[in-house]
Amino acid sequence: MTGRLIFRKLLLAVPTILIVSVVVFLLVHFVPGDPAVLIVGDANNSELLARVRVELGLGRPLIEQYADWLGRIVRLDFGRSLLTQEEVLPLVLSRFSVTAWLVTIATSLSTLIAVPLGMIAAWRHRSRFDTGIVLLSVLALSVPSFWMAIMLILLFGVELGWLPTMGYLPPSAGLRSLAFILLPVVALTFVQAGTVLRMARSATLDVMRMDYVTFARSKGLSDRRILFRHVLPNAFSPVLTIVGLIFGNLLAGAAIIETVFTVPGLGRLLVESITSRDYPVIQGAVLFISLVYIAVNLLVDLLYPVFDPKLRTKP
Amino acid sequence: MEGVILSVRELVIAPQLGEVALVDRVSFDVLPASVCALVGESGSGKTLTSRAVMGLLPENLAVKSGALGFCGEDLLDFGPAELRRVCGARIGMVFQEPMSSLNPALTVGTQVTEALCWHRHMSPGDARTAAVAMLDAFRVPNAATSLDRYPHEFSGGLRQRIMLAAVMLLRPKLLIADEPTTALDAIVQKDVLDDMVRVAKDMNAGVLFVTHDLGLVERYADQLVVLRRGKMEEAGPTGELLRSPASAYTRSLLAAAPSKRAPRRSTGTGQVLLAIDRLCVDYTASGGFFGARAKSFRAVDQLSFDVRRGEFVGLVGESGSGKSTTGRAIAGLVDVAGGQIIFDGTNVAGTEGPARHQARNRIQYVFQDPYSSLNPRQTIGAIVSAGLAELPRAARRAKVEQLLVDVGLEAAFADRLPHQLSGGQRQRVCIARALAVDPDLLIADEAVAALDVTVQAQVLDLLAALQRRRGFACLFISHDLAVVRSICDRVAIMKNGKLEAFDETGRVFGASGNPYVKKLVSAFPTLSQ
């Protein structure tokens, strides 16, 4: 059953990916600026420009160019960066691994912190604790992530001098790498936690109004058992949706945080390639991001049945 | 007092920060192996009283004074921890909605046994054995395998049995049943209540039975307490009290009971307005995008009956019998798979275009739930005048006001919003909206099911009176046999999408040879006197 479900979902992803590929392809061809000029570096050398255009196939009909391009993509040939001549796929993958590392830690942390806090706030609805949690989540939601990042750098990097203000080391560098990712992770966690907190709190409040929770109370069970056995499994599905969406979004580009902390992630790669009109990199990165997004959503879809037995039985 | 299980004395419940009592000095006793019924309409405080016993009042309400004696102790003296030891273990409670009272994420076994493991520290294995025995006592089929299944795999009646089994498993002294079968069909309701009372009396437990249905009270309750707006109207042994009620309110409740109502005088003309001929409706479960087989389910199967001009025809059946689907098909709200719907000489089944459009205007619908069938953002005037777009403004306003007066409201209601109205008033607005276009046929789909008995009686009287004046025919869809009997000229009874019986009301209820109809009629609670 699960195998068939995955297959069906994957099949459904194919048209989405094709549409994305068309958009990505056309986008590059309709934005102002000539890639040939960029490569040659001299807009007046028309002879050389013409030769480069022929080499890149820029003069052929669009549909032919698209088919050609798609054919290469399918063979995992994303081309080379116009700027550095690096191969696009390994470049995107290595940058993605940095982002994935940061974002996975931040998402796990924010879920682990925000879900219990949100649930307890709901359980003590209208108490001081609840009010405090609501204020905190509003604060987290309204503070721009870059401002938060800058404040963190000022405090821990500049004033206290405890942590490096910029740069990145891969996890293979051991403990020292932790010092570099700590501030970006805190910034990302804080931003996400606000949304997750709100969702966890309101989902818990909704579930607590259900008759089956009153029934559980009438059985004389402890608060803890009611909260964890009866409320949590039912309140988690909407939270999961939100966590999945945020996770996908951040994987696709924690660009602002990466830029502020100069972390060499996927988001920053995208920003750099756009400013330098490095078309193969833009195309490769956007296509890759959409694939990641689809994969994350698929994962979330597959997780729903864990929390909702109605989805577990025959479709 | 010796032997009394629950003794409620001068109970007052009011908002935390308010003085207006919602329950005002209510007193009664529940005895072992007997059923005490708490009866009243919505807002009477019957549910609040029962919740107060369990310490389950909404957070903004509190018990202000009085006593809740339980086996010699006052529950109001108990702290949360002590109350938890009593709740579930010695007092059990079942709720109204079987569909939402079991946790969808946990297996039936977990939910049935958890209180036993919690209060009696029983091992899961022993608890399971006990649970199987109790599920058997409540006649849940395949008790052992049921424990590993989830609530959504069971029907409403079975879920209610499961909830009862979970509660009675701890052999409580007191069972509080808050409208436990209101959401169930008549036949299922009788079976479940029979079992509930039998098991409770076997255990020598007292039952506090909260209900609005005097028919059920007469059948099951030994003692009766009548509440109205938080105050006790009267209390006493059921038989005596129903035979000679002292309070005017109890008398009005009894008079409003549909089984006690005088039948409506027929105004049928004999001319056929609507003829249903071998109607079939299928429901198709859509299979999604890629090749999943679409499963279809026949909701209405070869159904034939007719409605004459000026006649009330009842369409009766249990939930899932296809009665509402039939109404929707006639109104053109669902697709028809086969057969004919001949309205005033024209077949409108499966057609679109002017004929259908005209028929839609001449057929109007009144829905069950007066709370969700009115747009909360529109004024009553805008709602009622929706079908009158072609009239000039002033004439429209005049017609709306006239309609509101006709349905027993005031003209000034036109400027109000739905949330400012009570349930009964809203249903009057729904009727006014339906009558605005002077329809030939009114389809009333459980139009009074959500209303209190006295309000229900008023709305039924209104329908009958309007019908006399305007002469429309009415297809009256209902699961309530007593209501149908009091208002309908002829009755069609449906089961599993098929017609079981179709005849004049008296003949169907009197001496039907059909075994299903007999069972349905006998299961339905009616007041004897």
The per-residue pLDDT for A313 is: 56
- B69 and B185: one domain? yes
Residues on chain B bordering chain A, Cβ-to-Cβ distance under 8 angstroms: 54, 56, 59, 83-89, 92-93, 95-97, 100-107, 110, 114-115, 118-119, 150, 152-153, 163, 166-167, 288-290, 292
Distance CA B494, CA B485 (A): 15
**What does the longest C-alpha to C-alpha distance in chain A come to?**
87
Report the pLDDT averaged over residues B247-259.
87
The per-residue pLDDT for A230 is: 93
Cα-based torsion angle of the residue sequence B337, B339, B345, B349 in order, rounded to the nearest 10 degrees:
0
**In B334-450, where does DSSP find H-type helix?**
354-362, 380-384, 393-406, 423-435
How far is the alpha carbon of B114 from chain A, nearest alpha carbon, in Å?
A: 8
- B125 and B229: one domain? yes
Query: pLDDT band at residue A145, thresholds of 50, 70 and 90?
Result: confident
Per-residue pLDDT reduced to its tens digit, B387-427: 888 888 889 999 999 999 988 888 999 999 988 888 888 99
CB-nearest partner of B118 from A213, A221, A233? A221
How far is the alpha carbon of A73 from chain B, nearest alpha carbon, in Å?
A: 26
Q: Is the CB of residue B103 less than 8 Å from the CB of residue A230? A: yes
Query: pLDDT band at residue A164, thresholds of 50, 70 and 90?
Result: confident
CATH of domain A97-311: 1.10.3720.10
Check pLDDT > 50 for residue A300: yes
User: pTM for the whole thing?
Assistant: 0.80
- B103 and B157: one domain? yes
What does each C-alpha distance from A110 to A57, A77, A103, A130, B144 come to in angstroms? Answer: 48, 37, 10, 18, 42
**Given CB atoms, is A124 within the 8 Å cutoff of chain B?**
no
Best of A12, A205, A207, A218 to mutate (most B CBs within 10 Å, chain B) = A218
Contact between chains at B118 and A220 (C-beta distance less than 8 A): yes
Q: Which of B89, B144, B78, B149 is CA-nearest to residue B118? A: B89
- B75 and B164: one domain? yes
Residues of B in contact with A230 (CB under 8 A): 103, 105-106
Distance CA B397, CA B120 (A): 67
Structural domain boundaries, residue B66? 6-255
Average pLDDT, chain B: 88
Residues of B in contact with A125 (CB under 8 A): 59
Residues of B in contact with A307 (CB under 8 A): 105
- B243 and B278: one domain? no
Residues of A in contact with B101 (CB under 8 A): 211-212, 214-215
The per-residue pLDDT for A172 is: 79
> Domain-by-domain residue ranges, chain A?
2-74, 97-311
- B248 and B300: one domain? no
Instruction: Classify residue B320: in a domain, yes or no.
Output: yes
A161: three-class secondary structure by DSSP = coil
B269 DSSP 8-state letter: -
Percent of the residues in chain B that have a pLDDT greater than 90, as a whole number: 50
Report the pLDDT averaged over residues B5-15.
94
CB-nearest partner of A220 from B115, B150, B153? B115
Q: Is the CB of residue B369 less than 8 Å from the CB of residue B450? A: yes
How far is the alpha carbon of B95 from chain A, nearest alpha carbon, in Å?
A: 7
- B180 and B121: one domain? yes
Q: Is the CB of residue B198 less than 8 Å from the CB of residue B161? A: no
Instruction: Classify residue B341: in a domain, yes or no.
Output: yes
Distance CA A201, CA A196 (A): 8
Instruction: Classify residue B348: in a domain, yes or no.
Output: yes
Per-residue pLDDT reduced to its tens digit, B474-501: 999 998 888 898 899 999 999 989 999 9
Contact between chains at A8 and B93 (C-beta distance less than 8 A): no
Q: Are strands B223-228 and B231-237 parallel, antiparallel or unpaired?
A: antiparallel
Residues of B in contact with A315 (CB under 8 A): 292
The per-residue pLDDT for B152 is: 87
Residues of A in contact with B88 (CB under 8 A): 218-221
Mean pLDDT is lowest, of A55-69, B31-45, B72-86, for A55-69
Tokens read off for A255: 């660009």
Q: What is the Cα Rg of chain B in Å?
A: 25
- B194 and B301: one domain? no
Check pLDDT > 50 for residue B289: no
Contact between chains at B103 and A211 (C-beta distance less than 8 A): no
Q: Which own/partner contact pairs does A270-279 have at CB distance under 8 Å and 24+ positions apart? A: A273/A81, A273/A83, A276/A38, A276/A83, A277/A31, A277/A33, A277/A35, A277/A38, A277/A82, A278/A81, A278/A82, A278/A83, A279/A28, A279/A35, A279/A82
**CA closest to B159 among chain A residues:** A212
Mean pLDDT is lowest, of A68-77, A253-262, B165-174, for A253-262
Contact between chains at A313 and B153 (C-beta distance less than 8 A): yes
- B22 and B79: one domain? yes
Check pLDDT > 50 for residue A314: no
- B238 and B306: one domain? no
The per-residue pLDDT for B288 is: 46
Instruction: Classify residue B1: in a domain, yes or no.
Output: no
Provide the CATH number for the domain around residue B463.
3.40.50.300
Instruction: Classify residue B430: in a domain, yes or no.
Output: no
Check pLDDT > 60 for residue A174: yes
- B465 and B365: one domain? yes
Distance CA B20, CA B231 (A): 12
**Given CB atoms, is A211 within the 8 Å cutoff of chain B?**
yes
For Cα atoms B284, B290, B292, give the angle at the middle one, nearest 5 degrees. 40
Q: Is the CB of residue B43 less than 8 Å from the CB of residue B244? A: no
Query: pLDDT band at residue B293, thresholds of 50, 70 and 90?
Result: low
Query: pLDDT band at residue B1, thresholds of 50, 70 and 90?
Result: very low
**For chain B, what is the domain count?**
2
Q: Which of A236, A280, A217, A269 is CA-nearest to residue A99? A: A269
Instruction: Classify residue B267: in a domain, yes or no.
Output: no
- B195 and B318: one domain? no
Contact between chains at B104 and A313 (C-beta distance less than 8 A): no
Check pLDDT > 90 for residue A12: no
Q: State whether ipTM is beyond 0.85.
A: no
**CA closest to B55 among chain A residues:** A218
Report the pLDDT averaged over residues A127-146.
90
Residues of A in contact with B105 (CB under 8 A): 230, 233-234, 307-309
CB-nearest partner of A310 from B89, B104, B166? B104
